[in-house]
């Protein structure tokens, strides 16, 4: 109330019209005084007193003690006073429910008043009083008002139903108000229609499954008619409601679009955005070759651009939405780059958003202009904006190859400005450019090195260190540079420490003679003096690698890195689709689904774009193909937990987008190093498949089409001749011959070869240990890393006698499936550590999935049929098994030995169809259909599974079993 | 939908607080004050999410207006509503200031009750509101039944912006074509971006419910007419048509008719309102050209020379010309010589401001300045903000021409010829900048 008292002095100036004086009472005992005034006989005095009460209420004072006195003033024919009393009631009724009842009579009476304004006021206020006892009395007046002759009362009553539903949903249903509300959609007055639509939409949101807003072509037609006649706000309600409708076919979709497009010329930006939402959604259903589709695309651009001349806050909302639209349909705005150029006086939030869109629209055609602008922005004042501008230059270089050279020279110019944060940002992006275009721009390294001292941000320091390490052979004083960083090793952030460790190891591998001391220093700093487990682990791994096998170390540390992809910040496609359905709303501003910021049941439903219905277009997914400059599907890094959940839990839906991507090696922690590094270390030795290394991570695992890229483990192994001594061939299930897992040269003379077998329901790992060294080996032990199916040794490794030189010993290690689980890449990869008295050795091997096929994997026929139908068709994978000369019965017998059970057989036109089932140890069912044509040695295999990742490995087992 | 509406003064004290939904509590009022108004850093977004509650805010002078919600509301609608609310308040009591708000708080509550119901915006046309919400208290009780139903049918009706029974002795209308021309030019004189955003503002004092039709030299319309074979018209108007990129209309304009026939027909509100907005980017007449020359002489001196050229008919006069030349922060002294007008260095604004009252077309003028700089060890270079310009010219830089505005009122006995019409064109500078 400070300001109120300040105003006291000015009071004299105010005429009797000013109300500010009501704010001025700050004296003690005012409640008592007010009470007296409220009970005054004079009307004017009463009114003054109520005004004072409202003023106190506004500033947050508790005036609930005056409740009975204020309610007493309700019985008046002065509308202004009445409204004030109502305002008070709405605020305090909840805290004084018993007293609030006193007001009921007046409300009920007012609902019968001859003046429609008073009737509406009563019904409007009553709905805001959230007291159970009052709501009971509200029903009858509300029912009357919903059928009132005056549209003003009806439109108010429509909203009141939503209010009542918020208080007591059951009551609304029981009283049949929902049906009355539905009837109002056909009302003759457009505003009544609009409010009824708003109320119904809101109620429907909290009843996701009810068919409340039963939208059909007739109601849609009514809505479209009302659209032309109602207020701007009503148009928004109707358009937002229309957006929830899914037309039956492309014809209906087009006709709705035609009737919505005129709204794009409305002065109200919200009407325009809601119309854009409807069009963006319904466009999905139009065939792309339709003339109208092109026309519609052209019509969308100008209104979107016009939104940018609105007030800044609306510009912000518009820009956040345009950001989505540009990702979904880049073609709409591809020629409108210039309108996104930043103006000097734009608020910062508008500037940052414009910059984002500029990068998205950058293409070969406009890159020169964009770069000139970005360079201009990089000299502005706002630090965040400048940083983003510099980063944008880097992204342009990566996105538009032709511009890379110009971008690099622009960045160099910026580095010359010596503005600290500009330099640092530039170095971070130049690192990315190096990774995208290796061996092209390294000539600038010298300039970068000049700025070493000015870098004080971890990201920039880490980037610079990475550059020095990566190009150590071209930098004469690389050792000195890195040494200078090493001095303050413990004060650096983890990011920098990890990078420094890797860089020095790289340097050592490139220039071993001069840098031995340095590498020892960093390794001891990392392993002995650090508390950070990531750092220590990485340090130990390097240490062991370097001490055991420098050649392997070179392969691991200096491995060729995958190129970075261009658009890393695209919104994940399913989320993008959902957000497109929410254009104009908060969700589109936050770029988050409503469930992320709305409490309770509202907004939890996920909206989806409709599917295209045009024939012949079925194959084309709406996400791919129109992504403009970037053809590659956007990389999404799935969290391991989610994927695993899908793999292990049959009830979960299949993963929507599982395109794993390689994380940039910069961020690789110790775990990644183990995964990627060890694989590539051993990759060259196992089965001769070079693609097994880090490159594997990039191969889409979920897609059977990628077969060529992934190593056919079993097949590759099978071709190799038997190296080990061989344990007696087991009955039934096929066991692959042993292969060398750990060559002697990598394990100080210990050679391990082995294979896996399933015998009578027990999984065994058969190994031959061969001592090729000069001394005796003892104290053998084995451990597994976490893996996809939780394989773990069921007991210790039984090597009882010491292994003397040139001796070979065969051991069989029983395995359990109760170990810790982590999804591996490939799925059947197993990382093993073997210890003896000399050292610890690591290797990885791959097991055939048939190891996990359990004996009770025969499914009931009916269950099979139901499950087959139940699994979505997207999960079906087809394979060809070539050159099998078995008839269907023989094949079926052979497969049964490996726990692949035939449930039914059908013969159609000389073609045998075998229906088979397999169950994995973790409970996943795999269903298969195998087609065998007499005389044709090639079988067709269709596999359906809720976890589609496994299909490919199951196929490999089929091939292995049938061919052996 | 909108859960609550708060108005604060610059200190963060709440002037108006109206809660519409149960999920918004009193603590929301404080949350906004603490996290936005009293926030240490500059506001980085007009939408703020605090503890799953979203706050939308705009500022009018030093008054904060905030809408609060816990749902996934239509964000564009919320901002449009906040602007509309400002318009309504301005129409009732003038400038939005702390004093005016306090003086009218009862009225504001009454308006808020009417234009927002359960958070859903309702009819917010000032014309309609003023018929039943007045500053002099409510006339409700003295109204006849006919008057009451007339009010309600107007508030909910199809023509919510105009009431029946308006009468003028003299039927008159004023059309203002107001354009703001925006330019961003490179130091070398290359146009980086240029566009005109225009508004057609109409003041109508017409009796009855007149049906109006507005025509301008829209390229699409004129080309269509040319093709149609109306020979009398196509010859002379075809050459001067303009391409309109996009336009939006007041809600009185029948949009579906514009979409199908591209004709602008409507029943106008009474008094002043904005009929349409439009944007053009092609063939813009840039009224002025700015040619900058900045030379750094050593580390402590800058030489600036700026030439402006007017580029329109010599018979026309531009007014209120102002050129703003930014100076570095470490400027210690400035000497200016200009051929025309007055120029001054304003240290508080870090700029040389050069003002010329009037300037005819096809003329040229020049200013030169020497800027002394204090030596600094600040590594950061001066950002060289662009040179900006303000002016007013008596023509439409887009080339838009009003061709006709026809008025039909069938029930009353006045015809199109009896209406007195005034048309005026004003071109102003929007953001008119030249980089240097």
**DSSP states of A739-777 as a string?**
EEEE-GGGTTTEEEEEEEEEETTEEEEEEEEEE-SSS-B
Same domain, B401 and B280: yes
* Any A CB within 8 A of B198 CB: no
Query: From CA A835, how far away is CA A747, in angstroms rounded?
Result: 10
Q: Which of A215, A291, A298 is nearest to A250 (CA)?
A: A291
Residue B381 pLDDT: 64
A210-to-A163, A205, A206, A218, A219 alpha-carbon distances in Å = 19, 9, 9, 19, 17
Contact (CB<8Å) A313/B249: no
Query: Which of B84, B109, B132 is at the close of a domain?
Result: B132
Average the pLDDT over A926-932 and give the result: 86
Does A6 have pLDDT greater than 50?
A: no
Does A653 have pLDDT greater than 70?
A: no
B148 closest CB neighbour out of A115, A269, A587: A115
Q: Using an 8 Å CB-CB cutoff, list chain B residues near A156.
A: 117
Strand runs labelled E in A259-364:
none
What's A826's DSSP letter?
A: S
Residue B421's CATH number: 2.60.40.1170
Average pLDDT taken over every residue of chain B: 88
List the 236-275 stretch of B: residues with Cβ below 8 A of A.
245-251, 254-256, 258-259, 274
- Rounded to a whole number of angstroms, the distance from the CA of B248 to the nearest CA of chain A is 4
Could you report the per-residue pLDDT of B330-359, keeping only the tens digit for each?
Answer: 899 999 999 899 999 999 988 999 999 999
Query: From CA A383, how far away is CA A389, in angstroms rounded?
Result: 10
> Tokens at residue B277, please?
């907005």
Same domain, B425 and B357: no
Could you report the per-residue pLDDT of A422-466, keeping only the tens digit for each?
Answer: 999 999 999 889 888 887 888 888 888 888 888 888 999 999 999
A39-to-A67, A103, B281, B364 alpha-carbon distances in Å = 12, 17, 67, 76
* Any A CB within 8 A of B433 CB: yes
Same domain, B361 and B405: no
List the 39-58 stretch of A: residues with Cβ below 8 A of B.
51, 54-55, 58
Same domain, B14 and B117: yes
Tell how far CA A221 is from the center of its chain.
37
The nearest alpha carbon in chain A to B434 belongs to A344
Same domain, B189 and B296: no
A467 touches A596 (CB < 8 A) = no
Q: Which of A509, A831, A844 is nearest to A682 (CA)?
A: A844
Query: From CA B59, how far away is CA A47, in angstroms rounded?
Result: 32
Tell how far CA A424 is from the center of its chain.
30
User: If phi over 0 gives left and psi between -120 and 50 gives alpha, with beta otherwise, what is residue B331?
Assistant: beta
Q: DSSP string of B168-204?
A: -SS-EEEEEEEEEEEEEE-TTS-EEEEEEEEEEEEEE
Same domain, B310 and B345: yes
Same domain, B71 and B40: yes
The pairing of strands B172-185 and B420-434 is: parallel
B77 closest CB neighbour out of A3, A236, A267: A236
Beta bridge partners of A162: none
Average the pLDDT over A146-163 and give the result: 93
Same domain, B258 and B403: yes
End-to-end Cα spacing for chain A: 91
Integer Rg of chain A from CA: 37
Contact (CB<8Å) A60/B141: no
Is B346 annotated in some ligand binding site? Answer: yes
Three-state DSSP class for residue B318 = strand
Could you report the per-residue pLDDT of A231-260, keeping only the tens digit for each?
Answer: 999 999 999 999 989 888 889 999 999 999
Is B219 annotated in some ligand binding site? Answer: no
Asked whether residue B151 is assigned to any structural domain, the reply reads no
Number of domains in chain B: 3
More confident residue, A669 or B241: B241
pLDDT band at B227 (very low <50, low <70, confident <90, very high): low
Query: From CA B302, how far away is CA A415, in angstroms rounded?
Result: 24
pLDDT band at A45 (very low <50, low <70, confident <90, very high): confident
Q: DSSP string of B254-292?
A: -HHHHHHH--EEE-PPSEEEEEEEEEE-SS---SEEEEE
Contact (CB<8Å) B98/A3: yes
Query: Which of B70, B101, B132 is at the close of a domain?
Result: B132
Strand runs labelled E in A367-466:
none
**Strand order across the A762-771 sheet:** A739-742, A750-759, A762-771, A808-816, A792-793
What φ, ψ does residue A50 adopt, rounded to 5°? -65, -40
The nearest alpha carbon in chain A to B148 belongs to A115
Taking the model in full, what pTM does it have?
Answer: 0.69
Residue B363 pLDDT: 93
List the 626-685 stretch of A: residues with Cβ below 8 A of B.
none
Domain of B176, in residue numbers: 172-225+240-284+396-434
The nearest alpha carbon in chain B to A196 belongs to B120
Query: From CA A834, how far away is CA A746, in angstroms rounded?
Result: 12
pLDDT band at B424 (very low <50, low <70, confident <90, very high): very high
- ipTM for the predicted complex comes to 0.83
Is B236 annotated in some ligand binding site? Answer: no
Beta bridge partners of B321: B356
- Rounded to a whole number of angstroms, the distance from the CA of A788 to the nearest CA of chain B is 38
Residue B77's CATH number: 3.30.450.60
H/E stretch holding A959 reads helix A951-963
> Tokens at residue B5, please?
């509406």
Q: Who's near A120: CB < 8 A, 6+ residues apart? A: A145, A150, A152, A153, A156, A157, B152
- Rounded to a whole number of angstroms, the distance from the CA of B32 to the nearest CA of chain A is 15
Residue A613 pLDDT: 56
Same domain, B22 and B93: yes
Same domain, B20 and B123: yes
Asked whether residue B124 is assigned to any structural domain, the reply reads yes
Query: From CA B355, how far away is CA A370, in angstroms rounded?
Result: 34
Q: Who's near A542: CB < 8 A, 6+ residues apart? A: A501, A502, A505, A523, A553, A557
Q: DSSP string of A41-102?
A: S-HHHHHHHHHHHHHHHHTT---GGGHHHHHHTTS-S-HHHHHHHHHHHHHHGGG-HHHHGG
Asked whether residue B233 is assigned to any structural domain, the reply reads no
Three-state DSSP class for residue B391 = strand
Query: From CA B11, how far away is CA B13, in angstroms rounded?
Result: 6
Could you report the per-residue pLDDT of B323-332, keeping only the tens digit for each?
Answer: 999 998 889 9
Query: From CA A536, how far away is CA A498, in angstroms rounded?
Result: 9
Tell how far CA A336 is from the center of its chain.
29
Asked whether residue B145 is assigned to any structural domain, the reply reads no
Asked whether residue B45 is assigned to any structural domain, the reply reads yes
Same domain, B177 and B273: yes
Could you report the per-residue pLDDT of A79-128, keeping only the tens digit for each?
Answer: 888 888 888 888 888 888 887 887 888 888 888 988 888 899 999 998 88
Torsion over CA: B132, B137, B138, B142 (sign): negative
User: If phi over 0 gives left and psi between -120 and 50 gives alpha, with beta otherwise, what is residue A790?
Assistant: left
Could you report the per-residue pLDDT of A351-381, keeping only the tens digit for each?
Answer: 999 999 999 999 988 998 899 899 889 888 8
Is B380 annotated in some ligand binding site? Answer: no
Query: Which of B107, B132, B157 is at the close of a domain?
Result: B132
Asked whether residue B176 is assigned to any structural domain, the reply reads yes
Same domain, B317 and B190: no
Flag the least confident range among A17-31, A140-154, A484-498, A499-513: A17-31
Integer Rg of chain B from CA: 26
Asked whether residue B158 is assigned to any structural domain, the reply reads no
Asked whether residue B249 is assigned to any structural domain, the reply reads yes
């Amino acid at each position: 109330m400070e300001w109120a008292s300040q105003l006291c002095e000015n009071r004299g100036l105010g005429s009797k019209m000013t109300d500010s004086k009501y704010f001025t009472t700050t004296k003690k005992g005012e409640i008592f005084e007010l009470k007296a005034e409220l009970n005054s006989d004079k009307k004017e005095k009463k009114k003054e007193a109520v005004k004072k009460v409202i003023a106190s209420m506004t500033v947050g004072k508790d005036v609930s003690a005056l409740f009975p006195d204020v309610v007493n003033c309700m019985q008046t024919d002065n509308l202004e006073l009445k409204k004030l009393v109502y305002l008070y009631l709405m605020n305090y009724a909840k805290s004084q429910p018993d007293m609030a009842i006193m007001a009921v009579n007046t409300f009920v009476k007012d609902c019968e008043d001859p003046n429609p304004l008073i009737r509406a006021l009563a019904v409007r206020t009553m709905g805001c009083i959230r007291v159970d006892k009052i709501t009971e009395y509200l029903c009858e007046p509300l029912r009357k008002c919903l059928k009132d002759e005056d549209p003003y009362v009806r439109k108010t009553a429509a909203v009141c139903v939503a209010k009542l539903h918020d208080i007591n949903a059951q009551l609304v249903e029981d009283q049949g108000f929902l049906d009355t509300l539905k009837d109002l959609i056909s009302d003759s007055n457009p505003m009544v229609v609009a409010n009824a639509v708003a109320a119904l939409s809101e109620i429907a949101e909290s009843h996701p499954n009810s068919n409340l807003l039963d939208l059909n072509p007739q109601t849609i037609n009514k809505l479209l008619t009302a659209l032309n006649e109602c207020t701007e706000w009503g148009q928004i309600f109707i358009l937002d409601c229309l957006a929830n409708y899914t037309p039956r076919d492309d014809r209906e979709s087009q006709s709705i679009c035609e009737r919505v497009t005129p709204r794009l010329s409305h002065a109200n930006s919200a009407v325009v955005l809601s119309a854009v939402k409807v069009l963006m959604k319904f466009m999905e259903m139009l065939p792309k070759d339709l003339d109208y589709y092109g026309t519609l695309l052209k019509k969308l651009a100008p209104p979107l651009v016009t939104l940018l001349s609105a007030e800044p806050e609306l510009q912000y909302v518009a820009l956040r939405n345009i950001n989505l639209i540009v990702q979904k349909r880049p073609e709409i705005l591809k020629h409108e780059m210039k309108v996104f150029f930043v103006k000097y006086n734009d608020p910062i939030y508008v500037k940052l958003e414009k910059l984002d869109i500029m990068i998205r629209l950058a293409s070969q055609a406009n890159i020169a202009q964009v770069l000139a602008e970005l360079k201009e922005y990089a000299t502005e004042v706002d630090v965040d904006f400048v940083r983003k501008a510099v980063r944008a230059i880097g992204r342009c270089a990566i996105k538009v190859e032709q511009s890379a050279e110009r971008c690099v020279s622009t960045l160099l110019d910026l580095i010359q400005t010596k503005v600290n944060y500009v330099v640092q940002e530039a170095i971070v992006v130049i690192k990315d450019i190096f990774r995208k275009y290796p061996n092209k721009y390294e000539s600038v390294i010298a300039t970068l090195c000049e700025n070493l001292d000015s870098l004080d941000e971890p990201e920039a320091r880490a980037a610079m260190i990475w550059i020095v390490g990566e190009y150590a052979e071209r930098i004469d004083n690389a050792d000195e540079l890195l040494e200078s960083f090493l001095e303050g090793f413990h004060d650096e952030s983890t990011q920098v420490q990890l990078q420094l460790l890797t860089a020095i190891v790289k340097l050592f591998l490139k220039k071993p003679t001069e840098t031995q001391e340095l590498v020892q220093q960093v390794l001891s700093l990392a392993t002995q003096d650090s508390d950070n487990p990531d750092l220590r682990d990485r340090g130990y791994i390097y240490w062991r690698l370097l001490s055991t096998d420098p050649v392997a170390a070179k392969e691991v540390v200096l491995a060729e890195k995958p190129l970075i992809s261009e658009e890393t910040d695209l919104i994940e496609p399913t989320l993008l689709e959902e957000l497109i359905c929410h254009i104009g709303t908060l969700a589109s501003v936050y770029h988050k689904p409503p469930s992320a910021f709305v409490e309770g049941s509202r907004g939890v439903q996920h909206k989806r774009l409709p599917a295209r219905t045009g024939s012949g277009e079925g194959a084309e997914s709406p996400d791919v193909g129109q992504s403009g400059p970037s053809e590659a599907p956007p990389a999404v890094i799935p969290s391991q937990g989610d994927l695993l959940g899908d793999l292990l839990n049959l009830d979960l839906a299949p993963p929507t987008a599982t395109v794993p991507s390689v994380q940039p090696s910069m961020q690789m922690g110790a775990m990644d190093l183990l995964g990627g590094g060890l694989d590539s270390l051993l990759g060259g030795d196992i089965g001769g498949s070079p693609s097994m290394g880090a490159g594997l991570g990039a191969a889409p695992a979920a897609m059977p089409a990628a077969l060529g890229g992934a190593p056919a483990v079993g097949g590759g192994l099978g071709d190799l001749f038997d190296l080990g001594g061989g344990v007696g061939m087991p009955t039934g299930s096929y066991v692959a011959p042993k292969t060398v897992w750990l060559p002697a040269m990598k394990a100080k003379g210990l050679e391990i070869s082995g294979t896996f077998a399933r015998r009578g329901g027990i999984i065994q790992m058969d190994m031959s240990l061969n001592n090729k060294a000069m001394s005796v080996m003892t104290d053998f032990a084995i451990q597994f890393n976490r893996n996809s199916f939780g394989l773990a040794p069921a007991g210790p490794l039984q090597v009882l006698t010491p292994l003397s030189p040139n001796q070979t010993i065969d051991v069989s290690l029983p395995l359990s499936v109760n170990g810790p689980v982590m999804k591996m890449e490939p799925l059947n990869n197993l990382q093993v550590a073997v210890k003896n008295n000399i050292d610890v050795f690591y290797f990885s091997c791959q097991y055939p999935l048939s190891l996990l096929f359990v004996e009770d994997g025969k499914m009931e026929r009916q269950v099979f049929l139901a499950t087959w139908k139940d699994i979505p068709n997207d999960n079906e994978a087809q394979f060809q098994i070539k050159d099998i000369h078995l008839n269907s019965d023989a094949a079926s017998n052979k497969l049964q030995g490996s726990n692949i059970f035939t449930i039914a057989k059908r013969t159609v036109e000389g073609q045998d169809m075998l229906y088979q089932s397999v169950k994995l140890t973790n409970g996943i069912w795999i269903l298969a259909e195998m087609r065998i044509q007499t005389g044709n040695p090639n079988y067709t295999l269709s596999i359906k599974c809720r976890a589609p990742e496994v299909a490919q490995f199951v196929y490999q087992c089929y091939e292995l079993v049938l061919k052996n | 939908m909108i859960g609550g509406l708060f108005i604060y003064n610059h200190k963060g004290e709440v002037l108006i607080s109206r809660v519409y939904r149960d999920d918004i509590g009193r603590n929301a009022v404080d949350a906004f004050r603490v996290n936005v108004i009293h926030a240490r850093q500059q506001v980085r977004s007009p939408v703020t999410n605090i503890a799953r509650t979203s706050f939308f805010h705009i500022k009018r002078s030093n008054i904060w207006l905030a809408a609060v919600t816990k749902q996934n509301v239509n964000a564009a609608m919320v901002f449009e509503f906040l602007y509309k609310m400002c318009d309504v308040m301005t129409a009732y009591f003038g400038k939005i200031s702390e004093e005016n708000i306090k003086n009218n708080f009862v009225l504001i509550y009454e308006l808020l009750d009417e234009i927002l119901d359960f958070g859903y915006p309702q009819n917010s046309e000032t014309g309609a509101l003023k018929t039943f919400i007045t500053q002099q208290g409510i006339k409700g009780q003295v109204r006849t039944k006919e008057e009451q139903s007339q009010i309600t049918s107007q508030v909910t009706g199809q023509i919510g912006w105009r009431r029946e029974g308006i009468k003028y002795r003299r039927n008159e209308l004023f059309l203002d074509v107001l354009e703001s021309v925006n330019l961003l030019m490179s130091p070398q004189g290359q146009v980086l971006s240029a566009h005109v955003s225009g508004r057609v503002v109409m003041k109508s004092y017409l009796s009855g419910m007149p049906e109006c039709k507005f025509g301008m030299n829209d390229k699409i319309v004129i080309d269509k007419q040319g093709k149609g074979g109306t020979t009398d018209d196509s010859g002379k108007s075809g050459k001067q048509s303009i391409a309109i990129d996009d336009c939006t209309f007041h809600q009185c304009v029948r949009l579906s008719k514009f979409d199908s026939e591209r004709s602008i027909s409507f029943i106008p509100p009474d008094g002043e309102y904005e009929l349409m907005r439009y944007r053009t980017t092609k063939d813009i007449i840039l009224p002025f050209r700015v040619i900058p020359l900045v030379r750094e002489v050593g580390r402590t001196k800058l030489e600036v020379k700026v030439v402006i050229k007017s580029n329109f008919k010599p018979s026309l006069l531009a007014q209120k010309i102002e050129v703003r030349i930014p100076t570095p922060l470490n400027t210690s002294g400035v000497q200016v010589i200009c051929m025309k007008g007055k120029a001054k260095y304003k240290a508080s604004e870090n700029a040389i401001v050069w003002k010329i009252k009037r300037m005819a077309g096809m003329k040229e003028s020049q200013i030169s300045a020497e800027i002394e700089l204090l030596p600094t060890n600040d590594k950061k270079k001066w950002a060289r903000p662009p040179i900006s310009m303000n002016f007013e010219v008596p023509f439409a830089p887009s080339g838009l021409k009003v061709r006709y505005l026809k008025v039909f009122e069938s029930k009353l006995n006045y015809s199109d010829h009896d209406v007195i019409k005034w048309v005026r064109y004003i071109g102003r500078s929007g953001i008119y900048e030249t980089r240097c």
